[in-house]
Structure 1
Amino acid sequence: MAQDNLSVVLHAQGDLRLENRPIPEPGPNDVLLQMHSVGICGSDVHYWQHGRIGDYVLKNPMVLGHEAAGRVLKVGSGVTHLKAGDRVAIEPGVPREMDEFFKNGRYNLSPTIFFCATPPDDGNLCRYYTHNANFCYKLPDNVTFEEGALIEPLSVGIHACRRAGVTLGSTVLICGAGPIGLVSLLAAKAMGASQVIITDLSAERLTMAKELGADFQLTVKREDGALQLAQKVEDTLGARPQITIECTGVESCIQTAIYVCDPNPNPAGRKEKDHTNNLISG
């Protein structure tokens, strides 16, 4: 075990440093992890470039990283389901109190939740990190650390597809073939989508999307108008998609998603919760 805890610390907008920090000791319900794989999320880049995301403003130095997997080194006195040597993926959001959100199973919405690399909470782009053991999940032997670190972004794609009602036979448009777009593609195909069309500026990203199972790939240009792109999608599919999952945050893509989505996507006689325009922002 190394004696230094090299950490990636954001001090201010554009001020990113490598620092040695003390190795933390796990509390009674925590585990000490030796981090192995940590993804760099768009939010990490956004904090680095802008110093804030919405109302979350960097005021003090913060360790980045929340897509993570590592190995357990120590367990707290109250931890019984994990032991030293276990390989785990972490859930980065941990409720601080048993409020109404917690009781309803929606603790992710709690205003007091701890979330890795969200001011003022440190993340885990470091060598050693402590985390609540109840939010660490043991990895099967056939799942790598790298795949474990991808579980958090994969959960975003799964949640989007569930909320949009992707099911057997769905036709789906995914705007953006970045990491969230690609995991949304994987989730949509796993849930039975019959046709998935994915758009992006990058031909390289669209090649990856094809390898992961996208039925159609559409290269877009920055100057494309929303209506123009919507027509391209419809022409490529031969119909309007039933569901759109928007993964870019770009205004024109959001407009395209609204224009192109089938306003009556459900087959006759199928009863399910209404989804307004079936547009989900990933």
Structure 2
Amino acid sequence: MKVCWLRFCWLLLILCCKENRPIPEPGPNEVLLRMHSVGICGSDVHYWQHGRIGDFVVKDPLVLGHEASGTVIKVGSGVTHLQPGDRVAIEPGVPREIDEFCKLGRYNLSPTIFFCATPPDDGNLCRYYKHSASFCYKLPDNVTFEEGALVEPLSVGIHACRRAGVTLGSKVFVSGAGPIGLVNVLVAKMMGAAVVVVTDLSASRLQKAKEIGADFTIQVKNETPQEVASKVESLLGCMPEITVECTGVQACIQAGIYATRSGGTLVLVGLGPEMVTVPIVNAAVREVDIKGIFRYCNTWPMAIALLASKRINVKPLVTHRFPLEKALEAFETTKRGEGIKVMLKCDPTDHNP
């Protein structure tokens, strides 16, 4: 019975979009939003399929969705910077308290942070949603709702490339050409990377990487991690100073260590098994710095400015669109790995980008 009940809850992760719930009332420092566009993330699919990610376990029906934008329709009594009619991008992580991490400006590391669609916190794949006004950012007129929703994955790329230290002239290896790998390509090139090489299993995703600015691509087949690293070096003419690993796959992490130049930096973005075997001594004796990232912080204003100025174009990442009523079909599409970014349209009167 326990297994069946859990499976029932997991199914509700998707089917809850058909459940009628009361329209929430915003608190003093909150806004009520009519949702417009919500992107499907790999973590959403993982919760749907497995009911957990690491220590975050689904115990009750959960609303998914954290890549989102919408329109303000009501503001709380304490809100002054937003008004009804404003189009906004939503930062899904909201600190619940001003702890040591908030004081350091690294609020993403706060252990008590609210985060959309991470148990037990509901996400925003729904018609109406309330959120902290301080974490809703007004969109310029020339930035679409879909671009606003894509600020979330774009923020992962910004945070990763900041942590990596990408700068003018950097030679960068991006492992994985899924949505997160692709936004890292976009951000690395915008930050001044001279050359970016991308690896993946999928030829179509590598083609998309080339279209958005990757200089070289490698389709991985049966190569060992050392062989992949050798191919990266051969294409670049040297070992990259920076590797951004976006898959979480053990062999890819190994390839990232072998590929990175001595004294360089490997940033782990993809999340895989809790325990992996890696050539840690190889990294240690060559002083390869290994850094992790957890979501992002202080990125929304920068991301929106980049979109508004057209310095970064995320529009090609959206390959599929579905109305909210077809959420299950949208999730199945994402699960099969079709396209790049699947977008759900929550406003029945407006399915435009």
TM-score by length of 2: 0.72
If each structure's strand is expressed as a fraction of its own residues, which one has the higher value? 1
Q: Distance in 1 between matches of 2:37 and 2:96?
A: 25
Where do residues 197-208 of structure 1 align in structure 2 (5 Å cutoff)? 197-208=197-208
1:55 aligns with 2:55: yes
Aligned pairs for 1:1-282 (under 5 A) are 12-15=9-12, 16-17=14-15, 18-221=18-221, 223-265=222-264, 277-280=288-291
- 3-state DSSP of counterpart to 1:153: helix
Task: Tell me the alpha carbon deviations over residues 93-134 of structure 1, each in whole angstroms, 9 at most, x when there is no partner.
Answer: 001112222222122111111000000000000010000000
> Which segment is superposed worse, 99-108 or 196-205?
99-108
Q: Is the partner of 1:259 in helix, strand or coil?
A: helix
In 2, Cα distance between equivalents of 1:215 and 1:56: 38
The structure that is helix-richer by fraction is 2
Residue ranges of structure 1 left out of the alignment (5+ in a row): 1-9, 267-274
Inter-partner Cα distance in structure 1 for 2:289 and 2:152: 23
Contact kept in structure 1, 2:10 and 2:61, CA below 8 Å: no
Q: Is the 8 A contact 1:160 1:280 kept in 2?
A: no
Taking the aligned partners of 1:177 and 1:279, their CA distance within structure 2 comes to: 21
SS in 2 for 1:26: coil
> How many residue pairs get matched?
264
Query: Which amino acid is 2:258 matched to?
Result: Y
Q: What residue ranges of structure 2 are gaps of 5+ in the alignment?
A: 1-6, 266-285, 294-353
* Partner amino acid, structure 1, of 2:9: A
Distance (whole Å) between structure 2 residues aligned to residue 115 and residue 11 of structure 1: 23
Give the whole-Å Cα distance in 2 for the aligned partners of 1:105 and 1:138.
21
Structure 1 CA distance for aligned equivalents of residues 263 and 32 of structure 2: 51
Runs of 4+ in 1 over 6 A off after TM superposition: none
1:279 Cα deviation from its structure 2 partner: 4.7
Q: Is the 8 A contact 2:63 2:124 kept in 1?
A: yes
In the aligned structure 2, how far is the partner of 1:159 from the partner of 1:96? 21
Normalising by structure 1, report the TM-score. Answer: 0.90
Q: Secondary structure at the match of 2:189?
A: helix
Shift of 1:234: 1.2
